[in-house]
Amino acid sequence: MDIVRRASHAGTWYTANANKLGEELDTWLRTCGQFRSPDVRGVVAPHAGYRYSGRCAAFAFTHIDPQQTSRVFLLGPSHRYRTQKCALSSATIYKTPLGDLHIDLEVYKELEATGEFQVMDMQVDEAEHSMEMHLPYLAKVFHGHPVKIIPILVGSISSESEAIYGRLLAKYADDPTNFFSISSDFCHWGQRFKFLYHDEKEGAIYKSIEALDRKGMDLIASGDPIAFKDYLSQYGNTICGRHAISVFLHVLQNCSTKMKVKFVQYEQSRQCKTMHDSSVSYASAVARVET
């Protein structure tokens, strides 16, 4: 019997009306000026409410070729549930207003057999938004095409664990029918986030935030998880999906298929100009096979 995870953030973080949601996503996908590419095997995309980050996310998801892909590995950070491991869902179906997405239970069994994964209960699963915010886009892009998902909640894991999970998942990246969707927002700036970094040499606060984010984005694009960790240690940038991104960088280092990450869009929720302002940054990237 199927175990269903509800679309628990529909109606708040994005509209629960299927027609309105479909039209909204269609508009963003159509106007971002990007195209499906069979060479793209993964994306990094934001997970805030769609009014803030939906447009930015389209720049990533528009690259997916649904005719080539049969599985999507979905890695998202844990915002509320504290764990030093990665966790699998107890559900078999993730609902969205645009249709159900089925979990690949065979791959789940393979991952469980490694002994490296926890299983999160439904309360934890439905409270988390990081993976759910990718689901409507996946349901939209794969409409009419069979696909299964492999949701993996990434906890506050150590650098050693990031490498372990990267090696475990690397073999899946060599299968051209598999795709990776990595969920992360970038800098959370302001007093409410307890992060007020400002390099005055860059000018206004929002320009300093962008410069800081782009340093991190450049290191992610370099494919070096150690350099990315050093950057995080040095600057403390509040990139909430840092562990999921690092796992993916280890995947790319350990798989046989050579891929290069390229960022294709960057936005901020607002331009911070005073210490009383706050913002969240959003960035979308693609991982493309090098030919």
Query: CATH number of the domain that 47 lies in?
Result: 3.40.830.10
Band (62; pLDDT cuts 50, 70, 90): very high
Structure tokens at 169: 């998942």
Q: Are 70 and 41 in contact (CB under 8 A)?
A: no
pLDDT in tens, 94-134: 999 999 999 999 999 999 999 999 999 999 999 999 999 99
Determine the pLDDT at residue 114.
98
What average pLDDT score do residues 11-37 get? 94
- 214, 215, 221, 223 alpha-carbon torsion, rounded to 10°: -160
Say yes or no to pLDDT of 77 above 80: yes
Band (38; pLDDT cuts 50, 70, 90): confident
CA distance 238 to 218: 16
Q: Are 88 and 118 in contact (CB under 8 A)?
A: yes
Band (33; pLDDT cuts 50, 70, 90): confident
Range of the structural domain that residue 208 is part of: 4-289
Structure tokens at 65: 């070729």
Q: How far is CA 148 from its chain centroid?
A: 17
Q: Which distant-in-sequence residues (6+ apart) come within 8 Å of 69 by Cβ?
A: 142, 145, 147, 177, 178, 179
Band (80; pLDDT cuts 50, 70, 90): confident
The pLDDT > 90 percentage for the chain reads 96
Say yes or no to pLDDT of 291 above 80: no
Determine the pLDDT at residue 45.
98
Band (1; pLDDT cuts 50, 70, 90): confident
What average pLDDT score do residues 212-234 get? 98
pLDDT in tens, 125-167: 999 999 999 999 999 999 999 999 999 999 999 999 999 999 9
The domain total for the chain is 1
Determine the pLDDT at residue 283.
98
CA distance 80 to 131: 13
pTM: 0.96
Strands (E) located in the chain: 4-5, 40-45, 71-77, 86-89, 93-94, 101-103, 117-120, 148-154, 178-183, 188-189, 259-268, 279-289
Say yes or no to pLDDT of 34 above 80: no
